[in-house]
Amino acid sequence: MTSEKNEHGVVMVGGGLAAQRCAQTLRKQGYEGPIRIVCAESVAPYDRPPLSKKYLSEGEEGPDVALKPDDWYVENNIELLLGKSAAGLDPVAHLVRLEDGTELSYDRLLIATGSQARHLPALAGFSNVHSLRTAGDSRRLAAELGQGGHLVLVGSGFIGQEVAATARAFGDQVTIVEAMSSPLEHILGAEVGNRLGRMHLERGTDLLTDAMVETASGNGRVEELCLADGRRIDCDTVVVGIGVRPSTDWLDGSGLEADGILTDAGARTGLPDVYAAGDVTRSLDPRTGKHTRSEHWDSAVRQGRAAALSMLGQPAPEPALPSFWSDQYGERIQYVGHAELSDRVEFEDHDDGLNFTARFLRGERLVAALAVGQPRTIAKAGRTIEEHHKSEAEEKGSPK
């Protein structure tokens, strides 16, 4: 993509991690044309992982979550259109329509609108029911922690687990209500899920599994949750962490997929000059040949960079293995690989057995690993998994 007079340049819709990394890569690679980032939030791109961890416990006194200082956007000639939502896309005319009626023409478009928290209709309208996606959500929730109340987390995904750990550090009573038999069972299986569950129980968090919230009662604030099996739980604050859905409503009628935009390894969508990166995508994993949603930091960074390189006509690097981390009770949990390909799991216990390494195997081949409190293990496991993928691809006679 060369820089020409009167060019429309690159428009990015969504101003989170993926967009920021795409803009940074474009400038680093020498692109000099216009870059505009449109974002529904009224602050410059910031980092979300601290929102359930340090930022939740320390607030604005705590970590600076801005991905870059405001000056960086000025110095790099990147225009931020903040507090503005995109409402439609005309891919033929190369136009993005904003909610206020403004139309933005683009030469290349990056869709990076991320994802939004799923809600439980039974809990709608209560003022003490929270979800956690933005810095504002984190500050509102923080105001309810550390008061000696009872916090109930609906869902034991990473956000639910991290908020539980943060609230326990304040000394709050914490209960996790989980519909499955153990945390993250659908991704990591029951054996790993049970060990993660044990970690919470040992730290004083109550964990109710095979439990579904059915109704809630209270006057403006939820005071009691009623489970499908008839159990009742008193509560002061509720956090719903039952997953996210891609923010694609504004793309209705554009031809792009509502349940996660399909992209190739270079972040290209099915529409000309339209790229997508981050939580909003279902991106092609060349190792499995499948399009998968990955709602993790590493993917947003990689896909944001890949989109920039593709826009410039440069080859995008081979996508890294899926990976994520989570911080809970002072320990780092790290994961790499494809647990869904495994047929068994082997465990290695460390210290008191709460810290462990899980090796997901298919036959004798390592396909994924998860480690609690063992930072070096995962990098090594990642290299082994990659080597296996390469030798398997060579055996099949494909270049990779």
Q: Which of 283, 326, 342, 357 binds ligand FAD (CB under 6 A)?
A: 326
Site string for ligand FAD, 162-201 (x = CB under 6 A): ----------------------------------------
Residue 292 or 361: which CB sits closer to ligand FAD? 292
How many residues bind ligand FAD (CB under 6 A)? The answer is: 36
Establish if 295 lies at the interface with ligand FAD (CB under 6 A): yes
Torsion, Cα 331 337 341 347, to 10 degrees, reads -40
Instruction: Residue 324: count other Cβ atoms within 10 Å of its Cβ.
Output: 18
Residue 207 to residue 212: CA distance in whole angstroms: 12
Residue 80 or 233: which CB sits closer to ligand FAD? 80
Q: Which of 1, 11, 12, 18 binds ligand FAD (CB under 6 A)?
A: 18
Site for ligand FAD in 206-265 (CB under 6 A): 247, 250
Instruction: Residue 38: count other Cβ atoms within 10 Å of its Cβ.
Output: 24
In this structure, is the dihedral angle defined by the CA atoms of residues 322, 13, 17 and 196, taken in order, positive or negative?
negative
Residues in Cβ contact with 276 at an 8 Å cutoff, skipping those fewer than 6 apart: 110, 111, 112, 256, 261, 263, 267, 269, 303, 307
Q: Which of 1, 10, 31, 114 binds ligand FAD (CB under 6 A)?
A: 114
Going by C-alpha positions, the residue among 219, 210, 182, 178 that lies closest to residue 197 is 182
The piece of 16-24, 232-240, 255-263, 367-375 that touches ligand FAD (CB under 6 A) is 16-24
Q: How far is the CB of 389 from ligand FAD (least distance, A)?
A: 21
Q: Which of 15, 189, 197, 260 binds ligand FAD (CB under 6 A)?
A: 15
Residue 52 or 233: which CB sits closer to ligand FAD? 52
Element spanning 357, H or E: strand 355-362
Cβ 237 vs Cβ 244: under 8 Å: no
Residue 45 or 149: which CB sits closer to ligand FAD? 45
Residue 176 to residue 157: CA distance in whole angstroms: 10
Q: How far is the CB of 38 from ligand FAD (least distance, A)?
A: 5
Q: Which of 44, 78, 110, 112 binds ligand FAD (CB under 6 A)?
A: 112
Establish if 49 lies at the interface with ligand FAD (CB under 6 A): yes
Establish if 16 lies at the interface with ligand FAD (CB under 6 A): yes
Residue 233 or 246: which CB sits closer to ligand FAD? 246
Q: Three-class SS of residue 115?
A: strand
Q: Three-class SS of residue 183?
A: coil
Q: What is the DSSP letter of 269?
A: -
Cβ 7 vs Cβ 105: under 8 Å: no
Cβ 7 vs Cβ 33: under 8 Å: yes
Residues that bind ligand FAD (CB under 6 A): 13-19, 38-41, 48-49, 51-52, 85-86, 112-114, 132-133, 159, 247, 250, 278-280, 295-298, 300, 324-326
